[in-house]
Amino acid sequence: MDIHEYQAKEVLSNFGVGTAPGALAYSPEQAAYRGRELGGEKWVVKAQVHAGGRGKAGGVKICESEHDIQAACEDMFGRKLVTHQTGPEGKGIYRVYVEAAVPIEREIYLGLVLDRTSQRVMIVASSEGGMEIEEISAERPDSIVRSNVEPAVGLQDFQAREIAFKLGLEAALIPQMVRTLKGCYRAFRDLDATMVEVNPLVVTSDNRILALDAKMTFDDNALFRHPQISELRDKSQEDPRESRAADRGLSYVGLDGNIGCIVNGAGLAMATMDTIKLAGGEPANFLDIGGGATPERVVKAFRLVMSDDKVQAVLVNIFAGINRCDWVAEGVVQALREVQPDLPVIVRLAGTNVEEGQKILAKSGLPIIRAGTLTEAAERAVGAWQNDLTQATRMRAVT
């Protein structure tokens, strides 16, 4: 789960990381008022969306009066911000953060990620802040400092000092930098984050080290341990299909193709998507109904897949171990009766209670295409979808 910049800043500041004074607003008027409350002469208005690259896309504006703040916000609110991280559809701006503008002396890049090779948290830093890490690694790879943290003892002072020295910070700033690095690491560890990125971390002209931007991503499977973090979820920033699925306890990933996939288990989902591609099609999603799925759960999965306009055929592929093919079949039949979709549905069942499952499908009298193997299922799904396409093309040619 991602959170907003202002939320990440609040989280990090609770761990001793320095930030500039700022306040959140839900309307241009409120933003102008927040500016007045904060005082000072210069502010930065920052669109709160779950994506980086806002500066270049018009989502970060420097303002020199309350009037400026209001005008900048009127430009932002309700609009979709498209950055290189959002995809072409962009992300809606419903909140802005008004922050005191600070005099920047230096910009540093700081990131904490899970390094799967070493199975450690890795601290990545660079003296070339402000640029995206991808750009830094392409243009100034020599400026990148990496350091793995030993989990048993956590980030040690000497290690943090070493990073600070490598970044070329002057001696007087080292203790502040050590505090910042340790604060970010503790936030990462204590809150089960998978990513913390502060870009830029700045040194101000009055020698303060501040996180001027902050991004945090958390491990969804650990959110139950951190209700205060779960509360920060902002559904307006998520793919609506994915948040609807999460609310129903289903694991769903939206993709760009047109064959909807209902499967059990992530491994089988991968195999199903590969086989669809091999057969010449493109999956529209990855939907995992999990183990022991009841007919009701299968109905929910169906509704979710059908609600995506892009879906032109549905492939149900179940290899039942803990699951029961008869339950899945009941769910499929019930869903088709309720939703009455106007698209081909292909079902491949294997494993526990497969005969009962097949009987339920056969007896239903519904136009379900049954397949014996995964390859056959994928070919039939792709075939049915292509057939649909040629029909549609033909109809378009006639009209």
Report, as residue numbers or ranges, the catalytic residues. Answer: 109, 197
111 near ligand ADP, judged by CB under 6 A: no
20 near ligand ADP, judged by CB under 6 A: yes
Binding mask 60-99 for ligand ADP (x = CB under 6 A): x--------------------------------------x
Question: How many CB atoms within 10 Å of residue 211?
Answer: 25
C-beta of 107 vs 234, nearer to Mg ion: 107
The span of 53-61, 156-164, 281-289, 355-363 binding ligand ADP (CB under 6 A) equals 53-61
106 near ligand ADP, judged by CB under 6 A: no
CA within 13 Å, CB half, 346: 25
99 binds, among ligand ADP, Mg ion, none (CB under 5 to 8 A by kind): ligand ADP
Residues 326 and 386 sit within 8 Å (Cβ to Cβ): no
Residues 255 and 270 sit within 8 Å (Cβ to Cβ): no
11 binds, among ligand ADP, Mg ion, none (CB under 5 to 8 A by kind): none
Minimum CB distance to ligand ADP, residue 394 (Å): 48
C-beta of 200 vs 257, nearer to ligand ADP: 200
102 near ligand ADP, judged by CB under 6 A: yes
C-beta of 129 vs 283, nearer to ligand ADP: 129
Q: What six digits make up the tokens of 316?
A: 């149900």
To which H or E segment does residue 185 belong? helix 174-190
Q: Would you say how long the chain is, in residues?
A: 399
Binding mask 188-217 for Mg ion (x = CB under 5 A): -----------x-------------x----
Residues 313 and 346 sit within 8 Å (Cβ to Cβ): yes
Binding mask 286-305 for ligand ADP (x = CB under 6 A): --------------------
Give the bridge partners for 318, in sequence order: 349
Minimum CB distance to Mg ion, residue 49 (Å): 12
50 near ligand ADP, judged by CB under 6 A: no
Kindly determine how many residues on this chain lie close enough to bind Mg ion according to the rule CB under 5 A: 2
Q: Which residues of 104-134 are buried (b: 16+ CB within 10 A; e: fewer)?
A: eebbbbbbbbeeeeeeebbbbbbbbbbbbbe
CA separation for the pair 216, 231 (Å, rounded): 14
DSSP state of 16: T
C-beta of 183 vs 200, nearer to ligand ADP: 200
CA separation for the pair 384, 61 (Å, rounded): 51
Residues 45 and 100 sit within 8 Å (Cβ to Cβ): no
Give whole-number Cα distances, 166 to 133, 157, 171, 209, in Å: 17, 14, 12, 16
Contacts with ligand ADP, residue ranges (CB under 6 A): 20, 44, 46, 52-55, 60, 99, 101-102, 104, 107, 130, 199-200, 212-213
Contacts with Mg ion, residue ranges (CB under 5 A): 199, 213
